Structure 1
């Protein structure tokens, strides 16, 4: 069953329902790939991100419920699902960073409402992540309420890679615009502003290009602020 987000929920459900205690990393990678693939197929807006996270969370819940393992096993599986979604969103943040860097380099400053909106969306990435998963998890079976709550509370306590990278990206770009580190040689301000009008589609294209690079052996993006706390 493929949802409108392009996610094969049946495949994820089956994987979770049949997972062994030693397959946590396989679950994490499967969720990450499914989430990333769905994000690549649409404009990278917060609304679309919420939709994708909802589909993945629902599939993980159904599969975990069918698994019927002990609470600790179920919690570990759900933890792998959240970690996989975090890994995919980390790449989405990096795609935003690369796209925004182009505009900052071309002279788009903080006075641009479009740039302000894009930075605001980046700052909301972690809350969108947690909120979307929590909302979808609420509709899961009663036996999963406890494990989901434990997983989400643990992630919120330590902070997600997505949130840390998003914060670092916003700080970096704001510092560049405020200090005047801009280069408008390649593109005029008007042209850059016009490109900002289709920003979500541009970021989606950047994300696809990043993934193609990874498939050719390029290193995966990492959180520059790994280990930092917001």
Structure 2
């Protein structure tokens, strides 16, 4: 079943139901690929990010509920699922950074109007990540919720790569904008608003462009911009 989120949930459910702990890395890559492709297929708004993360989390949870492995093994698989989503969101943060830099180069003031909202949404990425996953597992069976709990708790303590990169990106963009404003005339708010009407589409296009050159791997886990912890 492929929902409006763009995720083939049945494929992910089957993978999680049959995977062993030793196949965790393949699962991480598959989740990252599926998440990234779904994000590329729509405007990169927070609501669309929520929809994609919810679909992936639900599929991982449904598959984990059918997995015959031990609780510890299932926890490891769910941790890889979280890592896979984190890796895809990292690409989304980079796409936002690239898009916002285009505004900065034209003298936009990121502390005013719609651009300030765009920057705030970037800061919320990790919060949206945790809250969406947390809500998505509420309807899961008790054992799956119990398996997710230590995964989410550990990630909240450690923090995500997405959150760390989003924080660094916001700081970098604000510094750049401040420097640019000293050397050029600021873009008018009306102009900024007009540009921002297509902002989510612009970010989506940037995300697609960033990953067009990536080689395709196996049908199970095509290559994406993945990372290792």
Q: TM-score, normalised by structure 1?
A: 0.89
| Matching residue of 1:6 | 6
1:183 Cα offset (Å) = 7.3
Q: Distance in 2 between matches of 1:77 and 1:221?
A: 16
| Matching residue of 1:95 | 95
8 Å CA contact 2:123, 2:170 repeated in 1: yes
Q: Distance in 2 between matches of 1:162 and 1:111?
A: 22
8 Å CA contact 2:31, 2:81 repeated in 1: yes
8 Å CA contact 1:39, 1:204 repeated in 2: yes
Pairwise CA RMSD of aligned residues? 2.4
- CA deviation profile, 1:54-92 (whole Å, cap 9, x unmatched): 000000000000113211011001000000000000000
| Matching residue of 2:43 | 43
Q: Distance in 2 between matches of 1:90 and 1:137?
A: 22
Structure 2 unaligned runs (5+)?
A: 217-223
| Matching residue of 1:196 | 196
Structure 1 unaligned runs (5+)?
A: none
2:21 alignment partner, SS class: coil
1:180 Cα offset (Å) = 3.2
| Matching residue of 1:105 | 105
| Matching residue of 2:205 | 205
1:184 Cα offset (Å) = 6.5
| Matching residue of 1:32 | 32
Q: TM-score, normalised by structure 2?
A: 0.89
Q: Distance in 2 between matches of 1:13 and 1:198?
A: 35
8 Å CA contact 1:105, 1:181 repeated in 2: no
1:169 alignment partner, SS class: helix
| Matching residue of 2:57 | 57
Is residue 178 of structure 2 the alignment partner of residue 178 of structure 1?
yes
